[in-house]
Structures are given as C-alpha cells and as structure tokens.
Amino acid sequence: MNEDHKTSKNQLSTPVSSPSNRPSLRPEFGGEKVAGTSEISEAKGGGSIPLQGIASHPAAARPVKSKNTKLTRQQLEGIEARLSARDHAVLQAIRKYRFLTSTQIGRLYITNCSTKTSQTRQQNLLLQRLGGHGLIRPLERRVGGYGGGSTVQVWHLTEAGQRLLVLHDPGAQPRKRFSEPSALFLHHTLAIAECAVQLICLCRDSEDLSLELVDTEPSCWRKYRDDNRTCYLKPDLFAVTSYDGYEDRWFIEMDLGSESMTQVSEKCNGYLRYYYTGLEQKATEMFPLVVWIVKDSQRKENLKACIRENLQGHPKMFLVITPDELEKMLRQFIDAKELC
C-alpha cells in the first residue's frame, strides 16, 4: 500500500516544544482545523447529552416516595416538572451508559465542591432524591475499582425513569424488562462508562483539550456491506476531541483481559474491512484511530504482538494503551512507533 495511506492525523508523535511542530495532515486518516462547534455537530450521535456545567435548579422538588405500583403518566409529568436540569442530565447519562456508579455520577455532575466530603454529601443527596422519586435504583451487587472506594453502588433507570425520559416522544420504543446483569457484562459496561467519564473530566478541566462528542453503543455502531452481507462495526465508544486546533477521532475498545487473541484479531479485521469500504473517510475525510485500552502493561504487550503478527501489510491504525496513558494519547504525546 502507498505510504501516504499509512499515515494518519492520529499518527502519534513524541512531545514537542512548540504547537507548530504538530504533524501535518494526510487525506486518508487526516484531520482538519476545527473551525467551530456548529461544523461538527452533524457528527454527534443520538445519545449526545449535556455533561458539564449544569447547575442544580433552585426549586428542586423533594422526593416523592414511590411504591412498587406503576406510576401514571400524570404522576410522571408532576415529577418531571419538579426536576432540575441536573436531575434530567443524570437520568439521561444513566440511560446512555446503562449503569453508572455513585462516584462516576458525582465526578460528572457535582463539580462545585471544595472538598471530597462535600462532593460525596451532595452526590448522595442527588441520588437519594432521584431514587426517592422512583426513577433510579441501585443494583443489589456492589462493585469495586470504580472511584477509589472499596465498593460503590451501581445505579440504573427504573421502568418509571425510562418512561419519564420518553414522555414527549410518541415514537419511542418500549424498553425491555430489567434483569440483573452478569458480573462480566456489568464490569465491561462500567469500564466503558469510566473511559467516557475520564474523557469528559480530562477535557472539562483542560484549557487546550475539548471533547466534541463521546458516543456509546449502539448509536456509535457503523453499518456496512461486505461480500453482499450486511455487517456492523461495534466499537465500545466513539469519541471526537480537539487539541492544538485539530480534530481527532477515536474508535475505542475496552479490554478486560477476557478475550482471546483470536477474538482480538477478528475484531481488528472487522475494523480493516470497514476501513477498506471508504465509508468513514468519505463522510468525514478521516478514519478514526482504533484504540485498545487494556488493564496492564503485560496485556498491552500481548495485544501489540498479536496485532502486528496477524495484520502485517495493512495500515497502522491500532494503538494499545493503559488507562493512565489516555491523556498522553489525546495530546499526541505517544511515540508513533507504538502504532500497530
């Protein structure tokens, strides 16, 4: 393949002392100057929601103690009218990510506290109020490893919460009956949510990074044709960020170490097949870098070796990182030799 097709806007570089040394752009993977939010708004998926700077409504309602009986539409409308903008945003976020821990919600929406204790108190009051309305409920199972505590509660929407969010959407499809998720599914879903929370917080707290979009499945999936078959590319996350005046796009796969190397190779081949359709490049003039986020350095080396061995001769469009390297990746501070 021509060398021009192996270089991307997302082809990462070593740290530079001046923004003017940022790599030039190429058409296949290349990015373009970000002129304004309006020009990239069309890329946003249907699940896009406000995730920062939302203040609590001064007239937020006291919780309505709900019973196990189904709430009527009139009751839901009454609750909806008393919810704050932040309450609505929390409900939308839980719907988008399926499950969120108490600390993830606090990091996203409780941003005006000077101490961790104050943040935890406000976070708990917020969740207790929404839970009191019968809109959200914690799982019976607590989890560790998300948010720094020993174990934390995991929240999901109730049937009433789901209905409240689509009260004014006559075309909304009814949600499936809720059932407790398996441990593996829950941990993978929370890992996806944690990556999204990290992206949001990193860009929110930075002066030179911005997050234009973070979208999760199924709205980030891509439909394409391969050998007259309808296929779907199913990344865990799709993100659009900007740094140094340039837009970067990322397909993100969260790896918990449970997939075999054969499964990893098959997933990478799916990205290659989609790349060769040219659909993404035609729509956006670039192809996102495919990022595998793994739990530790040993898994990182194993995935890199697997990809390099099985995908020789193809464009270097894969990057394997650990969670602590996420900010370095967004700022292009990872050596391009790390690409697979």
Provide the residue ranges of all domains of the chain, joining segments of one domain with +: 3-14+24-45+206-338, 73-180
Lowest mean pLDDT among 20-24, 82-86, 171-175, 224-228: 20-24
Are residues 212 and 31 in contact, defined by beta-carbon separation less than 8 angstroms? no
pLDDT of residue 18: 35
Confidence of residue 33 (pLDDT cuts 50, 70, 90): very low
Q: What pLDDT is attached to residue 52?
A: 39
pLDDT(210) > 70: yes
Q: Which CATH number fits domain 73-180: 2.30.38.10, 1.10.10.10, 2.60.120.590, 3.40.190.10?
A: 1.10.10.10
Pick from 45-49, 174-178, 190-194, 270-274: least confident: 45-49
**pTM for this prediction:** 0.80
pLDDT, residue 260, reads 95
Which residues have C-beta within 8 Å of that of residue 151, sequence separation ≥ 6?
142, 143, 144
pLDDT of residue 144: 67
For residue 301, pLDDT over 60 is answered with yes
Largest CA distance in the chain: 65
pLDDT of residue 141: 75
In tens, the pLDDT along 152-194 reads: 899 999 999 999 999 988 777 767 778 889 999 999 999 999 9
Per residue in 315-332, pLDDT tens?
A: 999 999 999 999 999 998
Average pLDDT over residues 274-299: 96
- Token code pair at residue 245: 């005046």
Taking residues 228-250, report their average pLDDT: 95
Amino acid in position 338: E
Say which range, 50-59, 86-95, 263-272, 279-288, has the weakest mean pLDDT: 50-59
pLDDT tens per residue, range 58-113:
334 444 444 456 899 999 999 999 999 999 999 999 999 999 999 999 999 998 88
Give residue 245's pLDDT. Answer: 86
pLDDT of res. 294: 97
Q: What is the 3 state secondary structure string of the chain?
A: CCHHHHCECCCCCCCCCCHHHCCCCCCCECCCECCCHHHHHHHCCCCCCCCCCCCCCCCCCCCCCCCCCCCCHHHHHHHHHHCCHHHHHHHHHHHHHCCEEHHHHHHHHCCCCCCHHHHHHHHHHHHHHHHHCCCEEECCCCECCCCCCCCECEEEECHHHHHHHCCCCCCCCCCCCCCCCCHHHHHHHHHHHHHHHHHHHHHHCCCCEEEEEEEECCCCCEEEEECCEEEEECCCEEEEEEECCEEEEEEEEECCCCCCHHHHHHHHHHHHHHHHHCHHHHHHCCCCEEEEECCCHHHHHHHHHHHHHHCCCCCCCEEEECHHHHHHHHCCCCCHHHCC
**pLDDT confidence bin for 42, thresholds 50/70/90:** very low
* Interval 199-211 mean pLDDT: 95
